[in-house]
Structure 1
Amino acid sequence: MKDYLCDTDFIDYSDIKIQQISAAVCSPTGSNTENAIALYLYVRDSIKYDPYALTFNKSCFTASEILKAGKGYCVSKAILLTALLRSVNIPARLGFSDVVNHLSSKKLLERMRTNIFYYHGYVEIFLNDQWVIATPAFDSNLCKTLGIPPLEFDGKHDSKFQKYDDAGNQYMEYRHNHGHFSDVPYDLLVEKYSCYYPALMNSGHAPYSGDLHVEIKSDMKQ
């Protein structure tokens, strides 16, 4: 279990800003489950979901830098939540799966050249003697735009992307599970993203410009 409580170069919860956030969000008298839920909600809604934040730069995969940026894609937000959980001594690890996303912007899909999100990231949290999945990727504002309820987490059951939107249309479909990791598998992610998203990653260390929230609103008007 100590591997899932470690401070690392990527999951750097010893950073003062991360310590300040966990102290502000968590209750000193709260249970691990209560504090895990509070941290989940913080990352879900305070850190804007931004797939264009994905670059090869290691800051994209470092918790303190993600917190500073205030935005990130699914893996970035999972890394930050993992760091915040470990900072209050709650074991946490990263999980990865391939998912089909049936709702995205035309611009993002053109750059990705696929609707499969390879190595989509989430967090596995050890609570009440079991591992439970938490997915803090989509913030409430984006969910409102998409017409889906924000994903909740109760600390007892796996919290994954919704399969359907409010209208009953298929939304997310899980394809393949890549397992869990105690630290960010940076080299593996760079290799896979370079293979699957060459157009999206061709800007190297500089992120593409774009705003998924604005793009989806524009697509819905057409």
Structure 2
Amino acid sequence: MGTDAPGTADLAATYFLDHDSPEVVDFVARSAPAEGDPKARAVALYYAIRDGIPYEVYSADLSREGLRASATLRAGTGMCIHKSVLYASALRSIGVPSRLVLADVRNHLTSDRLRSLMGGDVFRHHCYTTVFLGGRWVKATPVFSSRLCRLYRMAQLEFDGRTDSVYHPYDLDGRRHMEFLHTHGEFSDLPYDRIVTDLRAAHPGLFAASMRVVDGSLVRDAANAAGGR
């Protein structure tokens, strides 16, 4: 994975990775100074998305429109798919090739409510990005914000443009955190139909009406868990 040279599809604007939209253009202009080199700008965008777009599974909009990079900026929040699509789109806007990676993971720190809704602790189609910098592909995961990491006692994922940024296997208390079980592959565009079909099959209890995840709050889940200890 990630050993081939990037192609034109890894820089293209698509329906989902709409880096030519006014929202993405404005976000990149505010977040990644034009005078920086590609690596510095990619790192700046990583942190702008990691900490500037709150991570939230509950109420996430999984419609076609809701998963566009521009829609995530308008909503101001998103889950791993939304934030990775936004990052991949922002990277392409500065001429840095990017792809999306989908993987099944076991998350040992899922809240009790979310675990119940998901039907366990295995989550289908966790999404992160791979970025072509310095002549090679580097993994980057601009998903969990600093605030959520503090609440859930997880190490923050840093990114320097050279080293892979993926989930640590243990949290700050030495408990198992996240295991990667199966990688489905890299994608130059979001395979929307596959993702939605598989998520509905794997996690039917997670969905409310239409294409939205049920209401809730990861922050509130963490507070409830802390209160019960």
Q: Normalising by the residue count of structure 2, what TM-score does the alignment of the two structures yield?
A: 0.93
Cα gap change, 1:158 to 1:107, in 2 (>3 Å): same
Give the whole-Å Cα distance in 1 for the aligned partners of 2:33 and 2:45. 11
Cα gap change, 1:26 to 1:122, in 2 (>3 Å): same
AA partner of residue 92 (structure 2): R
Equivalent residue in structure 2 for 1:209, among 211, 215, 220: 215
The alpha carbon displacement at 1:202 in A equals: 4.6
The alpha carbon displacement at 1:217 in A equals: 1.6
AA partner of residue 176 (structure 1): H
Give per-residue Cα distances to partners, 1:123-163, cap 9 Å, x unaligned: 00000010000001101100011122311011111110111
Q: Does 1:8 align with 2:14?
A: yes
AA partner of residue 167 (structure 1): D
Alignment of 1:1-222 (within 5 A): 1-222=7-228
Give per-residue Cα distances to partners, 1:107-134, cap 9 Å, x unaligned: 1111111101111000000000100000
AA partner of residue 135 (structure 1): T
AA partner of residue 170 (structure 1): R
Give the whole-Å Cα distance in 2 for the aligned partners of 1:151 and 1:188. 28
- Which stretches in structure 2 are left out of the alignment for 5+ residues? 1-6
Conserved? CA contact 1:193–1:201, under 8 Å: no
AA partner of residue 157 (structure 2): L
SS at match of 2:128: strand
Conserved? CA contact 2:155–2:172, under 8 Å: yes
AA partner of residue 66 (structure 2): C
AA partner of residue 11 (structure 2): L
Cα gap change, 1:60 to 1:114, in 2 (>3 Å): farther
Give the whole-Å Cα distance in 2 for the aligned partners of 1:171 and 1:217. 18
Compute the RMSD of aligned alpha carbons. Answer: 1.2
Give the whole-Å Cα distance in 2 for the aligned partners of 1:70 and 1:134. 20
Runs of 4+ in 1 over 6 A off after TM superposition: none
Conserved? CA contact 1:93–1:180, under 8 Å: yes
Give the whole-Å Cα distance in 2 for the aligned partners of 1:53 and 1:46. 18
- Which stretches in structure 1 are left out of the alignment for 5+ residues? none
Conserved? CA contact 1:53–1:71, under 8 Å: no
